[in-house]
Amino acid sequence: MDKKMFPLLIALLLSLTSISCDKSPEGNKQDSQPSAQAPAAQTFNWKMVTTWPPNFPVFQEGVDRFANDVKIMSGGRLDIKVYAGGELVPPLQTFDAVSQGTVEIGHGAAYYWAGKIPAGVFFTSVPFGLNAQSMTSWLYGAGGLELWQDLYKDYGLVPFPMGNTGVQMGGWFNKRINSLKDIKGLKMRMPGLGGKVLAKAGGVPVLLAGGEIYTALERGTIDATEWVGPYHDERLGLNRAAKYYYYPGWHEPGSELEILVNKKAYDSLPADLQKIVETSARANSLWMTAQFEALNIKSLNVLQDKNVTTLKFPDDVIRELRKLSDEVYEEQAAKDPQFKKIYDAFNDYRTKSQAWNKISEAAYQEALSLK
């Protein structure tokens, strides 16, 4: 080898030795240390209150399913303990308890808070409003949910739909309703805007809790009552306290139920847990709505086997009640800008929905009845 190459060879060997030393256990001491463990995922423990009695079929059952689904989907990171109405707070204080942060979440119906937010009734059900299918399409497909969330934001709440009763029955009566004259002086348990319409027709709306209805009807304290539908009505025994079962439920054609979440509590959740809450509410909304439909079909047969007389309200009565309903809307809208804003959006969608349903759902049902 040429002697002139020795210096270059020595320099190369020294360079390789230096690299080898850098890779020694001593030189790479920091890299050889075990990495720090990732912090454990944060867990959240929430309290949930409802407006429903313990074990109330479908209503409270749906809430229990919701909480259980959230726990499973979150791997236990969000654990929701459910309290039925009265177990932690009175049923009709659910809204305030969640709004004030006493609890993180609740379940009820928006028209229960009509004294606080009159416009909220549109997000449960109103006379001659939307059925369950149209309500779902308005909320999720035509901006209804955004209006709902905007309405609740000043109360520190985030609402989500969860459950729909479907079209309810018109109620139980101890006399036949042949004309609007038969409603005059009639004492009937009917809340919300339906009660205001009843009063315009000359009736006397009475507010009663579910547990008081049967006794009041049996003893004649009231002359008539509405409740939910065949399944819940039959369980309450209303068929033993009144003779006539009228339809359709013009006052509640599709009552939407709601999840209420305290906004600060909701914002404290990571994005995946927020999505789990939303998704579980939507999934159990489907379950509850399906249960109402299936159980009502079954219970209607049970009631008919017990010789319950089911009657359709005369067309003239329905026309008059529809006219009076529009008057109630206009009166409320004239004194409440928030009510007017939501009523205008709701009414616009109802008109468009009716035009489509006339040649779709209604036309199909008519075709199905032909023999």
Asked whether residue 152 is assigned to any structural domain, the reply reads: yes
Residue 23 has pLDDT above 50, yes or no: no
pLDDT of residue 40: 61
Average pLDDT rounded to a whole number, residues 286-306 = 96
The distance in angstroms from the start CA to the end CA of the chain is: 110
69-83 pLDDT, tens digit per residue, is 999 999 999 999 999
CA distances from 32 to 22, 27, 37, 46 (A): 13, 10, 15, 42
**Rg value, the chain, Cα:** 30
Instruction: Provide the 8-state DSSP code for 103.
Output: S
Q: Which amino acid would we find at residue 157?
A: L
Asked whether residue 348 is assigned to any structural domain, the reply reads: no
Cβ proximity of 50 and 90 under 8 Å: no
**Rounded to 10 degrees, what is the CA torsion of 97, 101, 104, 110?**
40
Average pLDDT rounded to a whole number, residues 27-43 = 54
53 Cβ contact partners less than 8 Å away, ≥ 6 residues apart: 60, 84, 85, 86, 210, 211
pLDDT of residue 194: 95
Q: Which amino acid would we find at residue 117?
A: I
Asked whether residue 77 is assigned to any structural domain, the reply reads: yes
Asked whether residue 198 is assigned to any structural domain, the reply reads: no
Asked whether residue 205 is assigned to any structural domain, the reply reads: no
User: How many CB atoms sit inside 10 A of residue 333's CB?
Assistant: 19
Model's pTM, two decimal places? 0.86
Asked whether residue 13 is assigned to any structural domain, the reply reads: no
Confidence band of 229 (pLDDT split at 50, 70, 90): very high
pLDDT of residue 272: 97
Asked whether residue 89 is assigned to any structural domain, the reply reads: yes
Residue 271 has pLDDT above 80, yes or no: yes
Asked whether residue 133 is assigned to any structural domain, the reply reads: yes
Mean pLDDT over each residue of the chain, to the nearest integer: 90
The total domain count for the chain is 1
Q: CATH code at 137? A: 3.40.190.170
Query: Which of 19-23, 283-287, 306-310 has the weakest average pLDDT?
Result: 19-23
303-325 pLDDT, tens digit per residue, is 999 999 999 999 999 999 999 99
In terms of residue numbers, what domain contains 69? 44-164+254-294
pLDDT of residue 21: 42
Confidence band of 207 (pLDDT split at 50, 70, 90): confident
Confidence band of 110 (pLDDT split at 50, 70, 90): very high
Residue 220 has pLDDT above 80, yes or no: yes
**Rounded to 10 degrees, what is the CA torsion of 326, 201, 187, 334?**
40
44-59 pLDDT, tens digit per residue, is 999 999 999 999 999 9
120-164 pLDDT, tens digit per residue, is 999 999 999 999 999 999 999 999 999 999 999 999 999 999 999
